[in-house]
Structure formats: C-alpha cells, structure tokens
C-alpha cells in the first residue's frame, strides 16, 4: 500500500512519498509491539501493507492486525497523519500524546527550547530560571513541558490555549511528565487567562498560527484535512496573532524578560523584527532573527528593555 | 485520547531507554543536500544504511574508512595514498574526543536535510534528520532514524565521536611504548598489562570506549598493521587481540582497510 503511493502525494501536494511512508510503517510496527518486545525487531515487512513481520518469532502486539491494517488504510486513503494514528509524537526528548484537534508539534519548534536553554544559562543571576514563563497557544503542551523541565525549582510555566481539546491534551501530557506543580494549563485566548498576579512574565514563547488564510487550502492533505485550522490560520497575511503577541510581550514581560516566537519564514520574521524596532518604542530590545536547521529564518527572539 | 491506541508506547520509549529502530536500506535519494559540496567531498563519510545501529556498537553506516585518515599532529605523515585536502592538514589539536559535547558541537555545523517548501506548520513530513559536519576534520555524521530532531542530534554526535576515533590518527612513540589507560580499559582481562586500576573491560556502549578505540588504531597504524606486534605491546596473545578487533565491526573494517592498503591479508 505504501509502495503503491510512489510519488503521487509528493506531486499532488508535497505530501509523503513511499520512502517516508515505509519509515512510518516501521514506526507503527515498533509502537504496536507489546511491552518487553525487543525494540530492534527486524522489520523487513516495510514493503508489505499489514503489520506482519518477517521473523518467525511470535511477538506480542498491543492491538490486533485488523486494527493495524485499518489504521494504515486511513493513513494512505484519508491521509490521516501518522501521529494521530499512533496517538503520540516524539519531540525533543519527549513523547507527547496528540489527537485530532491538536496541532502536531513540529521539529522546527524544538529549537525554541534551545534558545530558552541558552538564555537560562546566561541569565542565571537574573532570575529567569526561577521566574514565571508563558507558552501561549500551547497545543499539545510541547513547549510548556520542555521549558518546565529546564527551569529552576521555583520556575513556573503557564500554558494557554483557546481550544478545550488542546487544554485537555496538554493537561494529560503535563501529568505524564509529573509537572502538575510546575505547569499550569488555562483555557483562553493568548494572554487573557493570565491573572493580575501573572503579568510580570520572565519569558514568553509561542508557535502561533502563522499561515496566511489563502494558503490553507493548498497545504498537504495531512495538515489541511486533519489538523486544527485554529492552530494554523494566521489571518490574511498570517500575522494577526504574531502582532498581538508582540504587543502583549512589550507590556507583559518584566524588564529583562525573554521572548521567542515562531514565524512562517523570512518575510514574517523581518516584518516582525522591524515592527518591534519601529513601533514598540524601544520596549523590546536585542531583537534577533534565528533560522531553523533547514536555513529558513524561522524565529524572532529578544528581550524586554530594562 | 480514546483514539490513541498506542499512547502507552511512550512509557517504554520515554524512560531514557535507547530505542533504535531498524531501518533497512533507507534511501537517501529523497534527501537533497543543502550544501552539495559536502556530499561530493571525498572525506564525507555518510552514515547510511542503518541496520541495527546500537549507537557506537555496530556501525554498518561506516561506509569507507581508509581513504581519508587524518593525522592529528603537525608532521605531514600520510597513509593509504590519502586524498585528504592538504591545505587543511596543519597544526591542530586532535583531542576532539576529550572535549565535552557542547565544545564538540561548537566545532560543528549542523543542518537538516533541506525541506522542500516552507516547512514549519505547513508540513507534516518528519524531517527531523540531523547532519553534523565537524569543521576541523570535515567528518560528517548524521542520524535519521529517530522521530525527534533532538534525539537525532544526540545520535549524530555520538556517531561523530566514533568516526573521529576511527579516522583521526595520532602518532605513537613505539620505543618504550606504554598503552594509555583508555586503551587498557578496552582490553580483555587476559592482557598482562592490565593492572587493578584498569577496572572491568569496557565495551562500545561506554562513552570512554571511543578513546580506547582511537588509541588502539593509533598503535596498529604505528606498527604498520601487524597484529602480532601490536599484541606484544599490549601484553596480549595475537589471537586475543584479533578477537577484540573482530568483535567490533567498525574497528575490524578500519583495521582491514588499513591492512589491505599494505597488501596484508584481512583479519577474519
């Protein structure tokens, strides 16, 4: 089934080709093995359509082969994202539960945690490590959880999301990593759920929706048909929420506080950096554009002026 | 979460257990290289064709070893008709294996395989493969098999250390040779030189193994590939040293390619 796809999806909407589907099939088999089964089972079955394996050894599966087959059929025929099939996504050193209604965290976003790590290492004396951080539009809770794990013992994270599904999934993921004391999850739009006592933020991170509305229909089917549009559509030019976040950062961050936002790429990053410099009256400083590992200027980061 | 039939998988995978998926014959054709010249460089040692990679243990991703050995000192000794770019082979310290991950990373350029299109929220294509290029030596290590970019980076770094051990040679003073402690640690207990300080024999999964690996290859290169001579220097029988070399695929390949260049028979 995976082989027959060839480059059809690739040509159609830049979707996955056979090679990538084979890798996913291996992951599917890996995830469906029972506890205690060797993780390095030889999966020569990658070219076949069901979850059978080539080894003669009997392996315990968590789910029956019919279910596996049905799931894989959904992957190919409905273009349902692999991460929704298996219900989880590997992101940094985390494995996060995801489901329909929640944006699947992207590898690019992993870098935001590196930026925060760098800032915490440099600004230890500045108290950011023990401060209050916000992950706005948290989705699966990826950024909030990763940052919660690198903060000091008094550091806290507030994760907000408008979507009740995202809030539920984030709460679940936070619990899995035993971070209930560290990461607070609140439903609401961007800064709205923050209480008055929470307006002096040490840091703000966000991967807000940034795709221009016109581009949504042309996305690969895995994204446009299955992922929540709320987490993708950034309005006419894709900047609606990013601008809101910039303005919010200028007022909500405490002096010396750090921010990092993910953007659609070069154009948005440059526009945002320019906007911060010219429109926010010097309240945000040290503004830098950072590229992702594919070389696309993906992030805007900086500090609140002291 | 009701639909998440496999969410439990993170219990197994999330507990710092090294999970090594077996990807056979992964095709690199689908990957465009952002910097094509790396691909063309003779000393680009691609980590391809992963089969049961146990991080450092059995790197079948080591495709070629002998055609680009680096000498970690200022004398311009070369071997194997080396095609190393002479201009980069100058004075530099080759203690790459003793520095921390952070320091080693700072000597590397890192990128992913070029994503076609805008990436980010636009795509769901698991392009989390990471490639590290160690700038001082040009050695390239990459990892693709994990699902997260972060873990692929860790795997690539671990592979880079093994590749450095295999490819960067330090000169050895054969008169009054005393094996360094790291080398003694990877020798079997039968070595007469192993004192009580050496502790139990360490294997490829120990981070210190690469230091011993490098020192062993340094010695074997210094004695021109003679296992017998090297064994004497290490207080081992020739058979015991052969068994040690054959127990590690990457070491065996490195030794055999060197021996082949000296028209010696390969170890089997």
Q: Which residues of B206-244 are buried (b: 16+ CB within 10 A; e: fewer)?
A: eeebbbbbbbbbbbbbbbebebebbbebbbbbeebbbeb
pLDDT at A195 over 90: no
Is position A149 within any domain? yes
In a domain, A199, yes or no: yes
Chain mean pLDDT for chain B: 71
DSSP B123: -
In sign, the C-alpha dihedral spanning A207, A213, A214, A219 is positive
* pLDDT value of position B266: 94
Which of A21, A70, A294 to substitute to test the interface with B, most B CBs within 10 Å?
A: A294
Query: Do A53 and A133 fall within a single domain?
Result: no
Report the C-alpha gap between B170 and B214 in whole angstroms: 8
- What is the model's pLDDT at position B259? 95
Q: Find the CB nearest B127 among A90, A99, A107.
A: A107
Q: Which letter, b or e, does each residue of A13-51 get, where b requires 16 or more Cβ atoms within 10 Å of its Cβ?
A: bbbbbbbbbbbbbbbbbbbbbeeebeebbebebbeebeb
Same domain, A153 and A18: no
Q: Min CA distance, B46 vs chain A (Å)?
A: 18
Give the C-alpha separation, A176 to A209, whole Å. Answer: 26
Q: Is any Cβ of chain B less than 8 angstroms from the Cβ of A216?
A: no
- How close B96 gets to chain A, by Cα (Å)? 23
Q: Chain B 112-131, CB below 8 Å of chain A: which residues?
A: 112-128, 130
Cα gap B23→A250, rounded to integer Å: 47
Tell me which of A122-136, B20-34, B164-178 is least confident: B20-34
Q: Identify all chain B residues contacting A35, using CB atoms and an 8 Å cutoff.
A: 11-12
User: Are residues A113 and A66 located together in one domain of the fold?
Assistant: no
**Under DSSP, is residue B130 helix (H, G, I), strand (E, B) or coil?**
strand
CB contact under 8 A, B121 and A172: no
Model pLDDT for residues A100-151, shown as the tens digit of each residue: 999 999 999 999 999 999 999 987 657 899 999 999 999 999 999 999 999 9
Q: How wide is the angle at C-alpha A207 spanned by C-alphas A152 and A196, nearest 5°?
A: 60
- Report the largest interatomic distance among the alpha carbons of chain A, rounded to a whole angstrom: 69
Interface of A with B in 59-98 (CB under 8 A): 62-63, 67, 71, 81-98
Q: Based on the domain organization, do A15 and A121 belong to the same domain?
A: no
- A156 and A278 both lie in a single domain: yes
Whether A85 is in a domain gets the answer no
Q: Does any domain span residue A36? A: yes
* Domain match, A121 and A251 both: yes
- The H helix count followed by the E strand count for chain A is 11, 9
Q: What is the pLDDT of residue A179?
A: 97
Comparing B178 with B45, the larger pLDDT belongs to: B178
B60's CB contacts (< 8 A; 6+ apart) are B49, B50, B51, B52, B53, B249
Segment A219-246, tens digit of pLDDT:
999 999 999 999 999 999 999 999 999 9
Q: How would residue B68 be classed by pLDDT, with cut points 50, 70 and 90?
A: low
Chain A closest-CA separation from residue B234 CA (Å): 35
- Among A62, A78, A94, give the residue marking a domain's end: A78
Give me the CATH number covering residue A285: 3.40.50.150
Q: How far is B15 from chain A (nearest CA, A)?
A: 10
B8 touches chain A (CB under 8 A): yes
For residues A265 and A170, membership in a common domain is answered with yes
What are residue B141's phi and psi, to 5 degrees? -130, 140
Q: Tell me: do A177 and A277 sit in the same domain.
A: yes
pLDDT of B125 reads 67
**pLDDT-derived band at A48, boundaries 50, 70, 90:** very low
Interface test with chain B among A107, A137, A169, A214, by most B beta carbons within 10 Å: A107
Residues 38-77 of B with CB under 8 A from A: 52
Last residue of a domain, one of A61, A78, A95: A78
Pick from B122, B144, B154 the residue to mutate for testing the A interface (most A CBs within 10 Å).
B122
Q: Identify the pLDDT of residue A12.
A: 79
- Do A194 and A275 lie in one domain? The reply is yes
pLDDT at A57 over 70: no
pLDDT bracket for residue B105 (50, 70, 90): very high
Q: Tell me what the mean pLDDT of segment A201-206 comes to.
A: 97
A127 in the same domain as A34: no
Closest-CA residue in chain B for A106?
B120
What DSSP element (H or E) covers A205?
strand A201-206
- Work out how many domains chain A is built from and give that number: 2
Q: Judge contact between A241 and A191, C-beta under 8 A.
A: no
Say whether both A67 and A112 belong to one domain. Answer: no
Q: Residue holding tokens 């679940």? A: A172
Quick one: A73 and A116 in the same domain?
A: no
Q: With respect to residue A119, please indicate whether it lies within any of the assigned structural domains.
A: yes
ipTM: 0.82
- The residue segments making up the domain with residue A145 are 107-304
Does residue A92 form part of some domain? Answer: no
Query: Which pLDDT value is given to residue A35?
Result: 65
Question: Which residue of B24, B117, B120 is in closest CB contact with A106?
Answer: B120
The rounded mean pLDDT for chain A is 89
Is the pLDDT assigned to residue A5 strictly greater than 70?
yes
Query: In terms of DSSP H, where are the helices of chain A?
Result: 2-5, 8-13, 18-32, 65-77, 82-86, 110-122, 142-150, 164-176, 221-224, 240-252, 266-279
Q: Does B15 touch chain A (CB under 8 A)?
A: no
- Euclidean distance between CA atoms A68 and A62, whole angstroms: 10
Give B147→chain A minimum CA distance, Å: 6
Q: Note whether B205 contacts A: Cβ–Cβ < 8 A.
A: no
Gap between the terminal Cα atoms of chain B:
53
In a domain, A57, yes or no: yes
Q: Which residue has the higher pLDDT, A56 or B139?
A: B139
Q: Among A15-19, A94-98, B108-112, B226-230, which is the least confidently predicted range?
A: A15-19
Tokens of B105: 């990373």
Is residue A99, in this structure, part of any structural domain at all? no
Contact A294 B127 (CB under 8 A): yes
Residues of A in contact with B34 (CB under 8 A): 294-295
């Amino acid at each position: 089934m995976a082989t027959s796809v060839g480059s059809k999806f690739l040509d159609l909407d830049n979707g996955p080709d056979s090679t990538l589907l084979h890798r996913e099939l291996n992951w599917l088999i890996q995830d469906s093995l029972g506890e205690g089964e060797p993780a390095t089972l030889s999966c020569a079955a990658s070219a076949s359509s069901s979850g059978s394996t080539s080894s003669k050894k009997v392996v315990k599966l968590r789910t029956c082969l019919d279910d596996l087959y049905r799931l894989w059929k959904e992957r190919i025929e409905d273009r349902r994202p692999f991460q929704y099939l298996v219900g989880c996504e590997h992101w940094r050193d985390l494995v996060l539960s995801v489901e329909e209604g929640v944006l699947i965290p992207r590898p690019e976003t992993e870098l935001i945690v590196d930026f925060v790590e760098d800032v915490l290492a440099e600004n230890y004396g500045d108290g950011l490590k023990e401060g209050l951080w916000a992950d706005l539009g948290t989705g699966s809770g990826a950024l909030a959880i990763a940052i919660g794990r690198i903060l000091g013992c008094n550091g806290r994270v507030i994760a907000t999301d408008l979507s009740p599904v995202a809030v539920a999934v984030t709460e679940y993921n936070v619990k899995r990593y035993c971070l209930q004391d560290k990461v607070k999850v609140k439903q609401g739009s961007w800064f709205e759920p923050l209480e008055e006592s929470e307006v002096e933020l040490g840091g703000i991170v966000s991967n807000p929706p940034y795709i221009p509305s016109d581009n949504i229909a042309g996305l690969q089917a895995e994204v446009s048909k299955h992922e929540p549009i709320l987490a993708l559509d950034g309005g006419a030019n894709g900047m609606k929420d990013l601008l809101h976040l910039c303005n919010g950062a200028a007022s909500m961050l405490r002096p010396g506080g750090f921010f990092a936002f993910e953007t659609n790429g070069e154009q948005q990053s440059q526009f945002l950096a320019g906007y911060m410099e010219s429109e926010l009256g010097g309240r945000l400083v040290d503004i830098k554009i950072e590229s992702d590992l594919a070389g696309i200027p993906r992030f805007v980061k900086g500090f609140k002026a002291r | 979460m009701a639909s998440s039939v496999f969410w439990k998988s993170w219990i197994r995978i999330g507990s710092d257990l090294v999970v090594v998926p077996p990807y056979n014959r992964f095709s690199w054709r689908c990957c465009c290289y952002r910097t094509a010249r790396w691909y063309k460089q003779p000393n680009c040692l691609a980590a391809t064709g992963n089969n049961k990679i146990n991080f450092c243990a059995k790197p079948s991703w080591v495709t070629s070893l002998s055609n680009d050995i680096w000498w970690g000192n200022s004398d311009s000794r070369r071997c194997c008709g080396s095609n190393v770019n002479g201009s980069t082979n100058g004075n530099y310290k080759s203690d790459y294996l003793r520095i921390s991950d952070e320091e080693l990373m700072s000597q590397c350029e890192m990128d992913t395989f070029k994503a076609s299109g805008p990436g980010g929220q636009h795509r769901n294509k698991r392009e989390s493969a990471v490639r590290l290029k160690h700038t001082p030596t040009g050695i390239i290590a990459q990892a693709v098999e994990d699902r997260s970019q972060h873990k692929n980076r860790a795997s690539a770094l671990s592979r880079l250390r093994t590749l450095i051990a295999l490819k960067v040679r330090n000169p050895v003073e054969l008169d009054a040779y005393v094996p360094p402690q790291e080398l003694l640690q990877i020798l079997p207990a039968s070595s007469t030189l192993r004192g009580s300080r050496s502790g139990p024999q360490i294997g490829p999964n120990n981070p210190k193994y690469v230091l011993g690996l490098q020192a062993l290859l340094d010695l074997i290169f210094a004695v021109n590939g003679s296992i017998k001579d090297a064994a004497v220097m290490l207080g081992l029988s020739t058979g015991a040293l052969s068994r040690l070399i054959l127990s590690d695929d990457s070491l065996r390949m490195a030794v055999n390619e060197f021996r082949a260049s000296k028209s010696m028979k390969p170890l089997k």
